[in-house]
Amino acid sequence: NQFRDLLNENPIATLNGITYVTGNIFLKKGQTLIVNGALVTDGSLGIGNGFSFDTAPAVLTINNVSTSTPSGLLSKKNITIGGFNSQVNVNGLVYAGGTFAIKDGITQNVDSNFSGAIVAQDIEIVISWQPTDIELNQAYINAALGEPIFSQIIFINHWEEEY
């Protein structure tokens, strides 16, 4: 509740370092959150979800201030971007213990860019209009997780493209 109140009282907020939130985080349209470091929650994270008359997008920017300092967006449960108007730029590791979803459709406008890596149990990216850039940056991953001892194997169960 304190984090929700912080966003409601300060529609444009900047946080430095690692910020840990107990519970869910919902960034609504008209709110801007800049994190110079990492935003971590033991709940779910929703950005730009839910209808609002506000014309300004929900904006989340995660900056990496140093390659030796962790940065990113980490959730024990789900991360959902979209629904309505949102802008997300993450320089760091994106981790969702459940589902990571970007949903952009005819009535939505989702602008998203990721530099680092996206790790999740399920990844669902449904994009109709705006491009999404995802760039691997090993330095951001190493800063968040440490140096890997061996490489993990990734299995893709289903891949589908529609035109």
Question: Would you state the structure tokens that stand for residue 138, as one six-digit string?
Answer: 């090993």
Q: What is the pTM of this model?
A: 0.85
* Both tokens assigned to 151: 């490489």
At 20-29, the pLDDT tens digits run 999 999 998 8
pLDDT at 21: 95
